[in-house]
Amino acid sequence: MASPDTISAAPLADDIHVSVAGLTMAYDDFVVQRELDFKVSHGEIFIIMGGSGCGKSTLLRHLIGLKPPRAGHVFFDGQDLWEAPSGERHRMLLKMGILYQSGALWSAMTLAENIALTLSAHTKLSPREIAELVSLKLALVGLAGFEDFYPAEISGGMQKRAALARAVALDPEILFFDEPSAGLDPISARRLDDLILHLSQSLGCTAIIVTHDLASILEIGTNSIFLDTDAKTIIAQGPPRDLLRHTDHPTVRNFLSRGQLPDNGPINPAAIPVPPIAPLTEETDPA
Ligand SMILES: Nc1ncnc2c1ncn2[C@@H]1O[C@H](COP(=O)(O)OP(=O)(O)OP(=O)(O)O)[C@@H](O)[C@H]1O
Ligand SMILES: [Mg+2]
């Protein structure tokens, strides 16, 4: 098998948060991706890229404990997720925060109730402590004062931020996002990126993000892999901006340049339009 186009320095071993080794993923007889090998360091914003249907969401499912590997291993801080006893695996899963594509807030519950549900299910905090923590988490995502709103009463961008507040309710060590900016206008998408970046940094989290959004990939990604549908494995890995400049793989070049740039020769990232990030305010949400 050809080795993927790798552009990065190897991280220090004790800095590695997630390690995926020889992972093959399949639904019955249909192999989605095979022999995936990559590492994610602590604090990284790691992007999973690839065309539609290549297996990005499936990979997330293997990382968050929803689907067991056909072969291979997923390690968190050196501990094998799928080989761990169920109690230990449960503890590992509690360190994860997840933001699904749809946001997936309960529509019949207020924002406060949505977040409180996670806290009351997994902590022994009193109702008063939970209420305080809920307000703190909402403030973290720029939604102070929106406790009693229902999801349908706020914009799409605000719903994503509320879902993010719920994802960080238990102070996760690692956050997973599947297409976080899907369905948002470009400005709201940039503000969500900005929030993901600041939240990950302030909480000291690692973030693993599935996205097609080129601006996000280039702006916030510190490292990445590119999954290919035809090769059924990783065809490139490294910091996205470095891949954009240096990769020779036509599929990856095409993806990162949206087919706007020549098939060979150096690419200037400045040629990719990346809109400026609007400041985050509570009063004006454009979404
Ligand atoms: N539950 C399932 N059973 C069988 N096949 C599935 C199932 N879920 C996904 N697949 C198939 O596995 C492949 C990978 O799907 P996946 O949803 O992981 O792709 P993706 O990269 O996330 O795509 P997209 O960018 O469109 O979200 C696809 O061919 C899909 O049809
Ligand atoms: Mg998907």
Number of domains in the chain: 2
**Dist. CA 58 → ligand 1 center (Å):** 6
Structure confidence at residue 35 as a pLDDT band (50, 70, 90): very high
Last residue of a domain, one of 130, 146, 171: 171
The CATH number of the domain where 34 resides is what?
A: 3.40.50.300
Structure confidence at residue 2 as a pLDDT band (50, 70, 90): very low
Is 162 within a domain?
yes
Considering the entire predicted model, what is its pTM?
A: 0.86
Enumerate residues 6+ apart whose C-beta is below 8 A from 99. 160, 163, 164, 167, 175, 176, 177, 178, 180
Q: What number of CA atoms fall less than 13 Å from residue 270's CA on the CB side?
A: 0
Is 251 within a domain?
yes
Beta bridge partners of 19: 39, 75
- pLDDT, average across residues 45-55: 95
Structure confidence at residue 193 as a pLDDT band (50, 70, 90): confident
Closest ligand 1 atom number to CA of residue 58: 18
- Confidence (pLDDT) at 19: 97
pLDDT in tens, 226-257: 999 999 999 999 999 999 888 888 999 889 88
Task: Show the ligand 1 pocket: residues with CB < 6 angstroms.
Answer: 27, 32, 50, 52-58
**Dist. CA 54 → ligand 1 center (Å):** 7
Is 266 within a domain?
no
- What sign does the CA torsion over 87, 91, 19, 213 have? positive
- pLDDT, average across residues 254-267: 64
**Dist. CA 282 → ligand 2 center (Å):** 30
- Confidence (pLDDT) at 104: 77
Q: Which residue from 23, 24, 25, 27 has its CB within 8 A of the most atoms of ligand 1, so it is best to mutate?
A: 27
Burial 126-165 (b: 16+ CB within 10 A, else e): eeeebbebbbebbebbbbeebbebebeebebbbbbbbbbb
Last residue of a domain, one of 171, 196, 227: 171
pLDDT in tens, 60-116: 999 999 999 999 999 999 999 999 999 999 999 999 999 876 667 899 999 999 999
For ligand 1, atom 3: residue with the closest CA: 27
**Dist. CA 192 → ligand 2 center (Å):** 19
Structure confidence at residue 3 as a pLDDT band (50, 70, 90): low
**Dist. CA 13 → ligand 2 center (Å):** 30
Same domain, 223 and 185: yes
Domain that includes residue 146, residue range:
102-171
| C-alpha 214: how far from chain center | 14
**First-residue to last-residue Cα distance in the chain:** 45
- What sign does the CA torsion over 97, 187, 101, 120 have? positive
Same domain, 108 and 86: no
For ligand 1, atom 28: residue with the closest CA: 53
**Under DSSP, is residue 50 helix (H, G, I), strand (E, B) or coil?**
strand
pLDDT in tens, 137-180: 999 999 999 999 999 999 888 998 999 999 999 999 999 999 88
Q: Are 284 and 157 in contact (CB under 8 A)?
A: no
Beta bridge partners of 6: 237
Closest ligand 1 atom number to CA of residue 227: 21
Is 255 within a domain?
yes
Same domain, 90 and 145: no
Is 63 within a domain?
yes
Rounded CA separation 207/221 (Å): 9
Same domain, 132 and 229: no
- CB count within 10 Å of CB 61 equals 16
Is 10 within a domain?
no
Same domain, 186 and 166: no
Q: Taking CA 218 as the corner, what is the angle to CA 197 and CA 270, rounded to the nearest 5 degrees?
A: 130
Cβ-in-10-Å burial (0-12, 13-18, 19+) of 107 comes to: exposed
